Amino acid sequence: VYSLDGLLVFGLLLVCTCAYLRKVPRLRTWLLSERRGIWGVCHKAAVIGTRLHVAVSVSCLLMAFYVLVGK
């Protein structure tokens, strides 16, 4: 998380993980129902992941290619 690459990877993983957890009904009510605090950040990341799923998946693929080949 100390470099821009690490920050981007962390952000993409957070968005993808929260969007996946939003699809599980029990976890959605338990984890993502709060809209303030740290769980609010997870809720907002889940909303971003579900609304922009095409852009998030393309950026995950580009980041994976960069990490595997570029570094």
The domain limits of the chain are 1-68
Rounded CA gap, 15 and 51, in Å? Answer: 11
In whole angstroms, what separates CA 41 from the centre of its chain? 10
pLDDT digit string (tens) for 5-34?
889 999 999 999 988 888 888 877 777 677
Residue 42: the pLDDT is 84
- Cα–Cα nearest to 1, from 20, 17, 14, 18: 14
Quick check: pTM over 0.75? Answer: yes
Instruction: Calculate mean pLDDT across residues 24-51.
Output: 82
Per the structure block, which two tokens stand in for 12?
A: 């993409």
C-beta separation of 61 from 12 below 8 A: no
pLDDT given for residue 39 in this prediction: 81
Q: Are 50 and 39 in contact (CB under 8 A)?
A: no
Mean pLDDT of the chain: 86
